[in-house]
Chain A
Amino acid sequence: MERRAKSDERGGAETVLAHGPIPDAPTRRAPRRRRRSTFVEKTLRGLGEAFERSLYSEEVGGRRGLLQALDPRVKLVGLLLLIVAAAASRRLPVILAVFALGVALALASGIPLRTLLRRVWLGAIVFTGAIALPALFLTPGREVGRLPLVGWAVTAQGLLAAAFLLSRVLTSATLALTLVLTTPWNDVLKALRVLRVPALFVVILGMTYRYIFLLLQTARDMFESRQSRTVGRLDGAESRRVAAASVGVLLGKSFALSNEVYLAMQSRGFRGEVHTLDEFAMTARDWLALAGFSAAAALALWAGVWR
């Protein structure tokens, strides 16, 4: 049987080859230059990266580290206190000290510096830098230098304002990423209940997060299917048509899915009111950590605001 199958395969290939190349197929060798990614390829790559980021977050969250061992509510409240202290501080060294504390916490929790650099600092520097740049020239004050070629004056007050903005953003983003990377997203959402966020809102966020992955998977399947049937590059108009059609199909699928999910919830007794199970339990270590976070935030507020 196996011999027959192999013979059939060979026979099939011979039959195709006997007909020669497909008439319209390009026969000349393509010029040796780097081919630009198509719209479909770029979309697929983006979807793949989204899955990778999620996997990486789960992997870091599962590592043994300082913050991973703490109750999510302690991490949420503690890191939020530090963000508030950094945002409120009027002294640059205090903000930088909170930033250093954030980096130390990240390192102690197994988050490498290159992750912080790639996922937080580069983006924060580029985007916040773009916002802060005009402040260098527009803020009135003592001139400390001039920009070459255009000759615009850079003021000391402008530099300080830009440094404040940049350091606050870097600190807040570092602390936020540290929280998200060391805590499963579902626990972060559940921990929001301690801040009196309504249960319905938390449940909706949880379901949104859960179904994002299903839609990502659906989108990836759709684009892979499209790619498998696409030869060459799509022009701009065709790419836009594919994108619009895909968005439409995904919207239709998500609408149908939401109806089905609602029926499934009803089937198990959901009547519009959300009931949840709180599984967190504070230990002595958690209380100690909460005291530490509170003390650090209070110290930063005292040194940066009230002193």
Chain B
Amino acid sequence: MTRGEPRIEDSGREGTLSTQHSALGTDLAFAVRDLTYRYGVGSAAPALDGVTLAIPRGERVAILGANGSGKSTLLRVLDGLYFPDSGSVEVFGEPLTEERLQEEDFAFAFRRRVALVFQNPDVQLFSPTVFDEIAFGPLQLRWPKDEIRRRVGAMLELLEIAHLKDRAPHRLSGGEKKRVALASVLILDPEVILLDEPTAALDPRSQSQVVDLLIDWGGGARTVITATHDLDTVPEIADRCVVFQGGRIVAEGPPVAILGDEDLLRRTNLIHAHRHLHADGRMHYHPHPHARHDH
């Protein structure tokens, strides 16, 4: 999408920071070790429990799991919004802690390089208009204003939402909101993008548009971590799957292996026995992953 265009590091403050932090020489985008996180002191079960995970740069990872399995919490930890109760998280070889994010230089570099698309676009679209929404991130990162105007215009064209430029978010459809939410983080041209259920509650056409965008984005050079329980899209958007259940990793592997393991998928509530009607009028129950249906 933005390949071939000059990177924003070339201008102003971001240049200095990016150069400084490009010294973070490691092949890993994230290294998570024995991570535990609880919502509130009194919560009985941890949302994440002893998670250890390494995500190399440029890898596309699908975090699979049923509702409440810890997928969204992990993404928020990786985005520096929640901090572990125990264990550690490293980003590009540097510790990702609350203290480090208090440092302005580190925070600017991190927010520039790692971006999260929330599951509920209404959470993410807080600005009065679509244009303002897409400009919000670059403004916070103090990009030059002329550059922001140019980039926002290009992003609106790229995602085919230029006609929505002056619209208020509450006037948009679900698919439009999702595209604006994506635009609002893709404009930062991050090295890592974290996506929380990117295709949830979208109609088939909007789902396909979002998936196409994710496949094309960065030409495969960027790290894409997608939390989802939509198995249909996994083979297209991921090179590796990590399956969560009850805050723990229960399986890892390539999509073909994970999606082929019906027992695993049934145990983790990613597939279910359901009733469906065949063309000959027969109706029966049986489990199958939504990714394929052979009969």
Identify the A interface with B (CB < 8 A): 1, 4, 184-186, 189, 206-207, 209-211, 213-214, 217, 257, 260-261, 263-271, 275-277, 279
How would residues 127 to 154 of chain B score, 1 for a CB under 8 Å from any chain A CB and 0 otherwise? 1110110011101111001001100000
Q: Which of A209, A213, A217, A277 has the most CB of B within 10 A?
A: A277
Question: Chain B's nearest CB lies how many Å from the CB of A86?
Answer: 30
Q: Are the CB atoms of B111 and A214 closer together than 8 Å?
A: no
Q: Are the CB atoms of B281 and A4 closer together than 8 Å?
A: yes
Closest to A256 in B: B123
Question: Could you say which of B19-27, B112-120, B221-229, B265-273 contacts chain A?
Answer: B112-120
Question: Chain A's nearest CB lies how many Å from the CB of B72?
Answer: 11
Q: Are the CB atoms of B123 and A257 closer together than 8 Å?
A: yes
Q: Which of B115, B123, B131 has the most CB of A within 10 A?
A: B123
Q: Are the CB atoms of B135 and A211 closer together than 8 Å?
A: no
Q: Are the CB atoms of B128 and A186 closer together than 8 Å?
A: yes
**A266 — which chain B residues lie within 8 A by C-beta?**
81
Tell whether A267 pairs with B115 under 8 Å between CB atoms, given A4-B281, A214-B170.
yes
Q: Are the CB atoms of A267 and B79 closer together than 8 Å?
A: yes
Tell whether A268 pairs with B111 under 8 Å between CB atoms, given A275-B139, A277-B145.
yes
Within 8 A of A (CB), among B72-129: 76, 79, 81, 104, 107-108, 111-112, 115-116, 118, 120, 122-129
Q: Are the CB atoms of B132 and A268 closer together than 8 Å?
A: no
- Measured between alpha carbons, how far is A269 from B127 in the docked complex, in Å? 14
Q: Are the CB atoms of A206 and B140 closer together than 8 Å?
A: no
| A-B contacts, 29 listed (Cβ < 8 Å) | A4-B281, A185-B128, A186-B129, A189-B128, A206-B132, A209-B128, A210-B170, A214-B122, A214-B170, A217-B170, A257-B122, A260-B123, A263-B76, A264-B118, A266-B81, A267-B81, A267-B115, A267-B118, A268-B115, A268-B136, A268-B140, A268-B188, A269-B107, A269-B137, A269-B140, A270-B140, A276-B139, A277-B132, A277-B149
- Measured between alpha carbons, how far is A4 from B108 in the docked complex, in Å? 62
Tell whether A275 pairs with B140 under 8 Å between CB atoms, given A257-B123, A260-B120, A261-B123.
yes
Tell whether A186 pairs with B168 under 8 Å between CB atoms, given A206-B128, A207-B126.
yes
- Measured between alpha carbons, how far is A186 from B130 in the docked complex, in Å? 12
Return the contact of B126 from the options A1, A264, A279 (Cβ within 8 A): A264
**A209 — which chain B residues lie within 8 A by C-beta?**
128
Q: Which of B108, B128, B140, B281 has the most CB of A within 10 A?
A: B128
| Interface size band for B | 35 or more
- Measured between alpha carbons, how far is A265 from B127 in the docked complex, in Å? 10
Question: Chain B's nearest CB lies how many Å from the CB of A283?
Answer: 18
- Measured between alpha carbons, how far is A76 from B169 in the docked complex, in Å? 24
Q: Are the CB atoms of B142 and A271 closer together than 8 Å?
A: no
Tell whether A210 pairs with B169 under 8 Å between CB atoms, given A268-B136, A277-B148.
yes
**A189 — which chain B residues lie within 8 A by C-beta?**
128
Closest to A271 in B: B107
**A184 — which chain B residues lie within 8 A by C-beta?**
166
Within 8 A of A (CB), among B177-216: 184-185, 188
Q: Cβ of B277 < 8 Å from any Cβ of A?
A: yes
The 7 nearest A-B residue pairs measured at CB:
A269-B140, A186-B128, A268-B137, A213-B170, A269-B111, A275-B139, A260-B123
Tell whether A264 pairs with B281 under 8 Å between CB atoms, given A271-B107, A275-B139, A277-B145.
no
- Measured between alpha carbons, how far is A217 from B126 in the docked complex, in Å? 16
Q: Which of A265, A266, A269 has the most CB of B within 10 A?
A: A269
Q: Are the CB atoms of A265 and B111 closer together than 8 Å?
A: no
- Measured between alpha carbons, how far is A206 from B133 in the docked complex, in Å? 12
**B168 — which chain A residues lie within 8 A by C-beta?**
186, 210, 213
**B277 — which chain A residues lie within 8 A by C-beta?**
1
Q: Are the CB atoms of A275 and B142 closer together than 8 Å?
A: yes
- Measured between alpha carbons, how far is A95 from B132 in the docked complex, in Å? 39
**B81 — which chain A residues lie within 8 A by C-beta?**
263, 266-267
Closest to B104 in A: A271
Return the contact of B135 from the options A1, A257, A277 (Cβ within 8 A): A277
**B107 — which chain A residues lie within 8 A by C-beta?**
269, 271
- Measured between alpha carbons, how far is A132 from B81 in the docked complex, in Å? 56
